[in-house]
Amino acid sequence: MQQDCIFCRIVNREIPTKIIYEDEYVIAFPDINPAAPVHVLVIPKRHIDNITEVDGKDAPLLGHIMTVIPRIAAEVGIADEGFRTVVNTKDNGGQTVHHLHFHLLGGRFMEWPPG
Ligand code: AMP
Ligand code: ZN
Q: What is the pLDDT of residues 58-78, one digit of tens each?
A: 999 999 999 999 999 999 999
Q: Is the pLDDT of residue 16 over 90?
A: yes
What's the mean pLDDT in 2-22? 96
Range of the domain at 62: 6-106
pLDDT category, 23, cuts 50, 70, 90?
very high
The number of distinct structural domains making up the chain is 1
How far CA 38 is from CA of 1, 29, 60, 65, 77, in Å, comes to 28, 11, 27, 19, 9
- Ligand 1 neighbour 15 (Cβ under 6 A): yes
Query: Is 101 considered catalytic here?
Result: yes
- Ligand 1 neighbour 95 (Cβ under 6 A): yes
> Considering the domain boundaries, does residue 49 fall inside one?
yes
CATH number, domain with residue 46? 3.30.428.10
* pLDDT score, position 2: 86
> Considering the domain boundaries, does residue 114 fall inside one?
no
> Considering the domain boundaries, does residue 81 fall inside one?
yes
> Considering the domain boundaries, does residue 44 fall inside one?
yes
